[in-house]
Amino acid sequence: MKQFYLYPGQLSVFKEETVVSTLLGSCVAVALYDETTKVAGLNHFLLPEPTPFDSLSPRYGTYAIAQLIKELEGLGANTHRLKAKIYGGANVINNVLSGPSIGELNIKKAEKILNHLRIPIVEKNVGGNKARTIKLNTYTFEVVLRFNDKNAA
């Protein structure tokens, strides 16, 4: 079986069985899956929104989810059949400002977009204060999750 590591700010889609892993701190990963076509994808975004000077990059939740859906559709997925899983968004960076942490904002952005698109969230492991490593099997949509002793931003 193929192995693939997804770095922050990236996304990837798969039509053949692959185990995709990524390390999440305050970042959020959204996994999407079409069970009929067995097409799956994963993104790893760092911030919910870009500034006006940033590019349309998957580093930002606003674009990461839209780009992931577009690429999945290119492999035959149907948006109406997609299911989602959300991971990450931990508070691993000491937030000296009051208000929600980057992780919380990332989680809210993912949930808002998926709810708006009516894509059901079938699994969620978010928040807390520990980094996570996830391994997604793109054929079965099963995720193995491990909390890390050392935090990652």
pLDDT digits (tens, 9 = 90+) for 47-56: 998 877 777 7
User: What's the whole-model pTM score?
Assistant: 0.93
pLDDT at 119 (0 to 100) = 99
How open is the CA angle 33-77-103, to the nearest 5 degrees? 40
pLDDT at 90 (0 to 100) = 96
Q: Is residue 70 part of a domain?
A: yes
- Count the helices and strands in the chain (H runs, E runs): 2, 9
CA distance linking residue 142 with residue 83, whole number of Å: 12
Q: Is residue 91 part of a domain?
A: yes
Count: domains in the chain: 1
Q: Is residue 152 part of a domain?
A: no
Give me the CATH number covering residue 68.
3.30.1330.200
What is the tens place of the pLDDT at every residue in 74-102?
999 999 999 999 999 999 876 666 778 99
- Whether residue 23 contacts residue 6, with contact meaning beta carbons closer than 8 Å, is answered with no
